[in-house]
Structure 1
Amino acid sequence: MPVRVLILSADFGSGHQAAAKAIADACRSLSADCEAIVVPSQSALLGLFARAYLWQIKHIPGLYRRLYQLPVSRPLRTLVILVLSKPVRRSVEKERPDVIVGTHPFPAGAAVCLLRRARRQVPVVMALTDFAPHGFWVWPGVARYCCASPAAAADLVRRGADAARVIVTGLPVRPHLAELIRQSRREPSAGPGGPNRHLADQGSAPNSPRRVLLMGGGLGLGPIPEAVGALLALPQAALRLTVICGRNEALKEEITRRFGGDPRLTVLGFTDAVIEHMRAADLLVTKPGGITCAEALALGVPMLLLDPLPGHEEENARYLVETGAARVARGPALTAAASELLFARPDRLAAMAEAARQAGQPNAARMIAAEVLALAKRSCRAPGSVRITPPS
Structure 2
Amino acid sequence: MRKKGLKVIILTASYGNGHLQVANSLYQECLNKGLTDVKICNLYAESHPFISEVTENLYTKSFTYGKQFYKLFYYGTDIIQNKKMLRWYYQYGLKRLTSLIQSEEPDILINTFPINAVPEFRRRTGIVIPTFNIITDYCLHSLWLHDEIDKYYVASNELKAKIHSRGIPVSKVVVSGIPIRHAFSQSYDKQALYEKYHISPEKDLILLIAGAHGVLKNIKDVCETLLLSTDHQLAVVCGKNLSLRNELAQLYNSYSGRFHCFGYLERIDELYKLANVMITKPGGITLTEATATGTPLILYKPVPGQEKENALFFSEKGAALIAKNHDELVLHINTLLQSKQKQSSLQSSIEKLYLPASQEVIMTDILKESENIAKINYSSTIKSPKKKLGS
Check whether TM > 0.5.
yes
What is the match of residue 340 of structure 1?
A: 335
Tell me which of 239, 244, 265 is aligned to 1:246. Answer: 239
Q: How does 1:107-118 map to 2 (within 5 A)?
A: 109-118=116-125
Q: Does 2:220 align with 1:225? A: yes
> Alignment length, in residue pairs?
364
The equivalent of 2:248 in structure 1 is: 255
The C-alpha deviation readout for 1:1-47, integer Å capped at 9, x for no partner, is: 42222111101000000011112222322x22453322222123233
C-alpha change, 1:281 and 1:27, in structure 2 (3 Å) is same
- Compared with structure 1, are the counterparts of its residues 275 and 209 closer, same or farther at alpha carbon in structure 2 (3 Å cutoff)? same
Q: Does 1:105 align with 2:105?
A: no
1:46/1:83 contact within 8 Å kept: no
Partner of 1:144: 151
Deviations 1:208-237 (A, max 9, x none): 22122111332221223333223212342x
Corresponding residue for residue 50 of structure 1: 56
1: distance between equivalents of 2:68 and 2:21? 28
Alignment pair present for 1:37 and 2:39: yes
User: For the structure 1 residues 33 and 285, does the alpha-carbon distance in structure 2 shift closer, same or farther, using more than 3 Å as the test?
Assistant: same
Deviations 1:328-359 (A, max 9, x none): 123212112112212x2122112211211111
1:150-207 Cα deviation digits (max 9, x unpaired): 11112122334333211111122224433x1xx35xx7x89xxxx89xxxxxxxxx98
Given the alignment of the two structures, is residue 320 of structure 1 paired with residue 320 of structure 2, yes or no? no
Q: Give 1:17's match in structure 2, choosing from 4, 15, 20.
A: 20
1:302 matched residue in structure 2: 296
1:3 corresponds to 2:10:
no
Higher RCO, 1 or 2 (CA under 8 Å, sep at least 6)?
Answer: 1
Q: What percent of counterpart residues are identical?
A: 24
Say whether residues 1:120 and 2:127 are aligned partners.
yes
Partner amino acid for 1:350?
S
**What SS does structure 1 have at the residue aligned with 2:34?**
coil
Which residue of structure 1 lines up, in the alignment, with residue 382 of structure 2? none
- Structure 1 unaligned spans of 5+: 197-205
Letter of the aligned partner of 1:22 in structure 2? S
Choose the corresponding residue for 2:286, options 278, 292, 296: 292
Q: CA RMSD in A?
A: 2.8
TM-score of the two chains, using structure 2 as the length reference: 0.84
Task: Letter of the 2:110 partner, please give it.
Answer: V
SS across alignment from 2:11: strand
Distance 1:11 1:2 in 2: 28
Q: Deviations over 1:113-159 (max 9, x none)?
A: 11332222211111001000101000121000111111111212233
TM-score (norm 1): 0.84
**Cα distance change on mapping 1:217 and 1:36 into 2, 3 Å:** farther
Q: Which moved more, 1:163-172 or 1:246-255?
A: 246-255
Q: Which residue of 1 aligns with 2:88?
A: 79
Contact 1:220 1:247 (C-alpha < 8 Å) held by counterparts: no
